[in-house]
Amino acid sequence: MFQNLTDKLQSIFKNLRRQGVITEDNMKEGLREIQIALLEADVNYRIVKEFMESVTGEAIGQKVLKSITPSQQLIKIVHEKLVELLGNDASPLNLSSTHPTILMLVGLQGSGKTTTCSKLAKFLHRKGQSILLVGTDTKRPAAREQLQFLGKNLGLPVVTEGKDPLQIALSSLKEAKSLGVDTVIMDTQGRLHIDDELMDELSQMKKAVSPTEILLIADAMTGQDAVNIAKSFNEKLGITGVILTKLDTDTRGGAALSIRKVTGVPIKFVGMGEKGEDLEVFYPERMASRILGMGDILTLVEKAENEVKIEDTEKLVKKLKAETLDLEDFLSQLRQMKKIGPLSKMLDYLPVDPSLKNMDISEERYKSIEAIILSMTPEERSNPKIIDGGRRKRIAEGSGTTVQEINQLLKQFSSVRKLIKEMMTKGNEMKRRGWLSPLIS
């Protein structure tokens, strides 16, 4: 996501930091490079022009040139302007308190409406909402069967029976009242292109069901086409929000950076993968940080909270304090990380060097480490120091790996334990001196 833009912006800021003295000339050169990077990221030309005028006004002024750390000051300005461009604040769903919330999902065929219906249902169900899924797409072959399958996997009721979309939508409202559900999520018809027939159908449905929200599902990979589609749907239907899909595979990011400014409609969620949990609330400030390579720790923590048990975390903290972390704990944490997602994806949320994000961190590597630890005896896992040459050979044969791989894992584990011990020691020393609150543990 945004990889090309992020790499170029980081390179620009790195070059500025290398300058002995920041002058108006080399600052202007850096700003020109930022402008080119945004255009290459497929951001709308008019938006790039306005964005750069705003950044330049502050960057070439006294604010940056007289700063002690001008490159950091420029990063701060660009970050602030990106947040502003993306919409400043997150836009939560408008959930009704008096009657079932009706979320009407619209968009072109292939944008990911049906899959997003199930992702949104899972997201809201985790928040304590009772959900009814409704399939009104009678045009696309197997669209309703797909929604039935997804709903069954989530354990949620699904309404798809009816001759035409409007009939299905109206009957679903009766079913919603009968079941007493909190939220109705409607999957609507799509087309390969916007046409009058589609808009007439959706307008009739809007009038009949009075949706709380009309959410456009837009494919981020289509770039400025996604922006134009959003503009058309908004003009003809009056959408209340956008969910950008496939953002994890969009290395440019032009749609995300343009859509709010062009349409005035907020991005409410982004799809970051194919799994049911790969739907994230869109936070402009967090997204701007990720674009600049500054990471997004808060979103990573939220993902972990959904997958990792509190008691497991508390148990790990106690072991860290007692300096008794062993390979059994290491294996447990490895499995917890796998629940959150691939390590290569998690790196996108961390402020790490760009070169690390290009590392080949495959599922095979996970399996190799797991196999090595599982090939050890309980005694070996709890006390790795006893693993001598003979034991390493046996473990390698049992796990289908090499002695060199065993050595590498044990060396890495030893380094991790040493690092944790140093961190705990420094933390205790800082608390003793009063540099940290005694509440921090």
Q: What is the pLDDT of residues 24-55, one digit of tens each?
A: 888 888 899 999 999 988 888 899 999 999 99
pLDDT on residue 182: 94
Q: Answer yes or no: is pLDDT of 383 > 80.
A: yes
Q: For residue 186, what pLDDT band results from cuts at 50, 70 and 90?
A: very high
Strand partners, 279: 271
**pLDDT over 60 (residue 71):** yes
The rounded distance, in Å, linking the Cα atoms of 76 and 54 is 13
Tell me the average pLDDT across 316-337.
Answer: 67
Q: For residues 265 and 240, what is the distance between their CA atoms, to the nearest angstrom?
A: 6
Q: How confident is the model at residue 67 (pLDDT cuts 50, 70, 90)?
A: low
The predicted pLDDT at position 146 comes to 94
Across residues 288-297, what is the average pLDDT?
A: 72
Mean pLDDT of the region 200-210: 93
Q: What is the pLDDT of residue 14?
A: 83
pLDDT given for residue 439 in this prediction: 33
Domain edges within the chain: 3-86, 101-301, 307-432
Out of 7-16, 139-148, 313-322, the most confident range is 139-148
| Distance of alpha carbon 396 from the chain centroid | 37
CATH C-level class of 307-432: mainly alpha
Rg (CA), the chain: 26
* pLDDT of res. 205: 94
More confident: 212 or 9: 212
Class of CATH domain 101-301: alpha beta
pLDDT of residue 415 exceeding 80, the answer is: no
Q: Do 3-86 and 307-432 fold alike per CATH?
A: no
| CATH node for 3-86 | 1.20.120.140
pLDDT at site 310: 52
Closest CA to 1 of 209, 233, 242, 254: 254
Lowest pLDDT segment from 3-7, 171-175, 277-281, 435-439? 435-439
Which band of pLDDT confidence, cut at 50, 70 and 90, is reported for residue 254?
Answer: confident
Work out the angle between the directed axes of helices 403-432 and 327-340 (0-180°, nearest 10): 90
154-to-7, 98, 123 alpha-carbon distances in Å? 38, 25, 11
Contact 223, 251 (CB under 8 A): no
